Structures are given as C-alpha cells and as structure tokens.
C-alpha cells in the first residue's frame, strides 16, 4: 500500500475515533442534564400549555442503542467499500462480470448486482438487529420474522433492479468526460430526483403497502374543509396500513404534480384525536404549499455539484497514488465503484450537519404554517408529545448526534414552539397568510 494512502487511512480512523468519543461524551452530558431538569410525570402547567416529562428508562436505553448502531453503521460505510478495494474483491467481481457478458452495460449491471448482494449480506446482521430484534425488544414492531424478511428482500430487489438498470449512465458520463463528469452527473441528478419523486407514490410505494381513502367519513370531511382553506389543489389525503408493521405514528407529503398526496399512517389516525390529526395534515400541506419538495430537488442538485467535485478530486488522488495496484486505473472502470462510494460516504458525513440544518429549517416552517392555519396550539403540542413518546424519542439528544442525524427539530423544541407561537393573539400578521384564503381565516 502506498505510504500516502496508508497515512490518509490512518488520519480518517483517528478522526473517526475522536468523533466517536465526542458523540459518546455529548450523549452522557445530555443524559445527566435531562435527569436534573425534567419532571417525572407529564402535566399541563397552565391551560393550553403542554409541558414535557422526563423520558422513560426504555427511551434512554433505546437512545443508547440507536447511537451505538448509528456509529457502527457509519464505520461500516467506510470499511465496507474499503474492503472491496484493498482486498481486490472489486476487481475480481469485475473480472467475473466480464466473463459472463460482453456488452459494456451488461458488465456494469452484473457487477452492481453481485456487489449489492455481498454488501447486503455484510450488513444483514446489523439490519436484522435494528430492524427486527430491537424494534420488538422495545415494543415498536408488529412484524413477524417472515414479514420482516419478505420486506427486506423485496426492498433489496426493487432498489437493486432500479439502480442496476441505470447504473451504467454515471459510468458513461465519467468515461465520456473524465474531467467534467462531476458537473454533468450533478445536473443529471435533478431530473432523476424529479422522476423518482413523481413515480414513488404511484409505482414504488404501492409495492410495499396498501393506500386507500380515509375510512373515517367525518375525519375525511374535516380534512377536505382544511384543504379548502388554502390554495393547495388536487391533493389527495390517503391512509396507509402501517399498523401491520409498527406501533409508531407518522405522516408525510410525497409526489409532485398530479401524484402529490398526503399520507397518514393508520396508527396516526388510530392513536390521535381529530384536532391532532388535522394539525398533522396542516403541517404536510405546508411542505407542499411552500414548495419544499421542489426546493429540496433543486438544492440537492446544486449541493451535488460541490460534493461530486470533491469526490472527483479524492478519487483522482487515489488513482494517482495507487497506480492500478488494486485492479483499476480509471474511474470509468466499474471496479472503481467502491472507491466512488467511499468518497461519497466521506463527503456525506462531512456535509450532514448542513443538509440536516436545512431540513430542520423547512420542518420548522411547516410547523409554523400548521399553527397559523389551525390556530390550535394545544392540539399541535399534544400530538407532538404523543408522536415522540410512542417512538421512545428523547426530548433532546446529544448535540453532536443531533447535528449529524436530526432532520427534524428536537421533540422539546417543537413542543416549546407549539406552546409559544401565537401571533394572531397579539394582532400580528401571519407569515404564511399568502397561502391561505382570506375569507376562511377571518376570526
């Protein structure tokens, strides 16, 4: 191994070790602070104001487990592609693919399929623990082992087939433009993300769950009334049968143009009251009305330019230093795939606090819109408490873990915001009034 490559690997491992220590120290400090700050039992401090209670012991244990497995998965994100490179397994898979196929595109597809099979087998013990064992241990899953296995295999099959069909495109771009591929690939990612956003609700999601109209007629009418108070158009609100898999609650906005829809997990409908559900629907409406899906696609493409440029520089440095020792000389060689993945994972790790900060900001915007539309602070706060308590979420995680993993504001900050944000009570203008029909908002 080249001396400079060995030095770079050592630096990365030292940084990761220091980062791990800082995460664990931050979590310990946060744990002590929570114990010394919050009451044992939830209560209403004053009418219409909701306070939060100290998490249960199960929530503390669940948080420790999540942090530990996140660090392990983060570590594997570097080690697994490095294993493919330095063991020359990647070059061996490419050679196997070349023996099985003559066409360049088929070689890349076969390589990717075998690479993906090996990778999922490496991750399988961790996935089994986090996705099945731990979820049952904390009472968050309703899946049998067979159901979990079927969902895992189905997800792997769908994702692998989709990517195998298009994986040759990035390599073609790299081959045709070895010095500008990072720019072209980032630009191509914008229409790709749009296509995925358009097709996800109508093609991919129905493969895994059953979507249908809201079964509760009274709730459906109230949702329609809420939609009519804004300028949102042709937006379906559906429920999905997640109770067969989980006891947790969720809702999300998905799709673009005529595939846009708001989806409520049936657990959300079952566990929350009508006002709380309407608040959640209003939150998802805010995402669409403020164009958060479009903004995320566009900004993702722009951010991709910087990330892929740095990936380009890292990969070229490695190729220059390794001089083909690991079975590939060019980035357009499919055997260089794990090198690209390694560099991307490194850049995603570095930029995670920035992307998460942006995500938290748009979630706060949606929370603000929810409150301005419903003007029901109590329902928003109680729904937030129920959603997070049901999922054993921490009031506040350690700061570093929050920066790297939280794409939503923390549980405590969302409850505080729901309690405090009331501009209409002071006669102040609403920030998102332009999205609402004036006559419907008159008080």
Residues of each annotated binding site for Zn(2+): 283, 287, 363
pLDDT of residue 49: 83
Rg (CA), the chain: 24
Mean pLDDT (the chain, rounded): 93
Q: 330 CB contacts (<8 Å, ≥6 apart)?
A: 178, 319, 336
The answer to whether residue 245 is catalytic is: no
pLDDT of residue 46: 58
> Which residues are 126's β-sheet partners?
none
pLDDT at residue 38 above 90? no
DSSP 430: P
Secondary structure of residue 295 in the 3-state scheme: helix
pLDDT of residue 37: 85
Q: What is the pLDDT of residues 353-385, one digit of tens each?
A: 999 999 999 999 999 999 999 999 999 999 999
Distance between CA atoms of 95 and 183, rounded to whole angstroms?
Answer: 29
* Average pLDDT over every residue of 181-199: 93
pLDDT of residue 41: 63
Is the separation of the CB atoms in 371 and 418 below 8 Å?
A: yes
Q: Is the dihedral of CA 271, 43, 401, 353 positive or negative?
A: positive
Question: Out of 333, 367, 396, 416, which one is annotated catalytic?
Answer: 367
Question: Could you tell me the CA-to-CA distances from 103 to 96, 168, 181, 352 in Å, in that order?
Answer: 13, 11, 22, 38
pLDDT tier at 47, thresholds 50, 70, 90:
low
State the alpha helices, DSSP H only, in 129-256. Answer: 134-137, 145-166, 168-176, 181-199, 217-227
Secondary structure of residue 44 in the 3-state scheme: strand
> Which of 237, 229, 236, 241 lies closest to 277, judged by CA?
237
pLDDT at residue 43 above 80? no
DSSP 26: H
pLDDT at residue 3 above 90? no
Is the separation of the CB atoms in 51 and 42 below 8 Å?
A: yes
pLDDT tier at 441, thresholds 50, 70, 90:
very low
* Average pLDDT over every residue of 78-105: 96
Q: What is the pLDDT of residues 113-147, one digit of tens each?
A: 999 999 999 999 999 999 999 999 999 999 999 99
Q: How many CB atoms lie within 10 A of CB 39?
A: 11
pLDDT at residue 52 above 70? yes
* Average pLDDT over every residue of 211-226: 94
pLDDT tier at 256, thresholds 50, 70, 90:
confident
pLDDT at residue 40 above 80? no
pLDDT at residue 438 above 80? no
Strand arrangement, sheet containing 261-265 = 211-213, 236-240, 261-265, 251-254
pLDDT tier at 422, thresholds 50, 70, 90:
very high
pLDDT of residue 443: 43
Distance between CA atoms of 161 and 324, rounded to whole angstroms?
Answer: 30
pLDDT of residue 53: 85
pLDDT of residue 247: 92
CA atoms within 13 A on the CB side of 383: 29
Distance between CA atoms of 270 and 136, rounded to whole angstroms?
Answer: 20
* Rounded (10°) CA dihedral 273, 279, 280, 281: 110
Percent of the chain with pLDDT over 90: 87
pLDDT tier at 48, thresholds 50, 70, 90:
confident
* Average pLDDT over every residue of 16-31: 96
The answer to whether residue 367 is catalytic is: yes
Helices vs strands, H then E, count in the chain: 17, 6
Question: Out of 27, 245, 284, 416, which one is annotated catalytic?
Answer: 284
Q: Crossing angle for the helix pair 104-128 and 89-100, nearest 10 degrees? A: 130
368-377 burial code (b ≥16 CB/10 A, e <16): bbbbbbbbbb
pLDDT of residue 220: 94
């Amino acid at each position: 191994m080249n001396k400079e490559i060995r030095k770079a690997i050592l630096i990365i491992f030292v940084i990761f070790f220091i980062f791990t220590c800082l995460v664990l120290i931050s979590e310990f400090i946060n744990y002590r602070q929570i114990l010394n700050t919050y009451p044992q039992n939830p209560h209403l401090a004053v009418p219409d104001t909701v306070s939060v209670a100290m998490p249960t012991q199960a929530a503390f244990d669940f948080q420790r487990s999540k942090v530990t497995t996140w660090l392990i998965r983060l570590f594997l994100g570097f080690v697994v592609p490095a294993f493919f490179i330095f063991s020359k397994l990647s070059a061996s898979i490419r050679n196997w693919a070349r023996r099985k196929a003559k066409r360049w595109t088929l070689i890349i597809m076969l390589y990717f399929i075998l690479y993906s099979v090996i990778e999922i087998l490496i991750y399988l013990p961790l996935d089994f623990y986090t996705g099945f064992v731990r979820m049952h241990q904390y009472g968050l899953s309703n899946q049998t082992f067979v159901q979990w296995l079927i969902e895992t295999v189905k997800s792997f099959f769908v994702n692998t087939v989709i990517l195998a069909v298009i994986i040759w495109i990035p390599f073609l771009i790299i081959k045709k433009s070895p010095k500008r591929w990072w720019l072209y690939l980032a630009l191509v990612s914008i229409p790709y993300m749009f296509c995925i956003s358009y097709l996800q609700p109508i093609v991919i999601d129905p493969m895994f769950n059953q979507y249908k109209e809201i079964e509760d007629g009274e709730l459906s009418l109230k949702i329609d009334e809420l939609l009519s108070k804004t300028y949102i158009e042709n937006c379906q609100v559906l429920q999905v049968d997640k109770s067969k898999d989980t006891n947790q609650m969720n809702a999300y906005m998905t799709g673009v143009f005529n595939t846009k829809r708001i989806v409520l997990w049936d657990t959300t409908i079952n566990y929350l009251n009508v006002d709380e559900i309407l608040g959640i629907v209003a939150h998802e409406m805010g995402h669409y009305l403020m164009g958060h899906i479009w903004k995320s696609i566009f900004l993702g493409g722009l951010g991709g330019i910087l990330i892929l440029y740095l990936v380009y520089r890292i990969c070229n440095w490695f190729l220059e230093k390794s001089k083909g020792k690991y079975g590939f000389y060019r980035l357009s060689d499919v055997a260089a795939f794990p090198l690209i993945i390694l560099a991307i994972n490194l850049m995603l790790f570095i930029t995670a606090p920035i992307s998460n900060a942006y995500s938290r900001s748009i979630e706060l915007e949606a929370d603000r819109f929810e409150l301005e539309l419903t003007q029901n602070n109590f329902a928003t706060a109680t729904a937030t408490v129920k959603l997070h308590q049901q999922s054993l979420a921490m009031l506040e995680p350690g700061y570093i873990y929050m920066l790297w993993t939280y794409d939503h504001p923390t549980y405590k900050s969302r409850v505080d915001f729901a309690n405090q944000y009331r501009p209409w009570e002071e006669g102040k203008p609403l920030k998102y009034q332009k999205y609402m029909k004036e006559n419907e908002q008159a008080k």
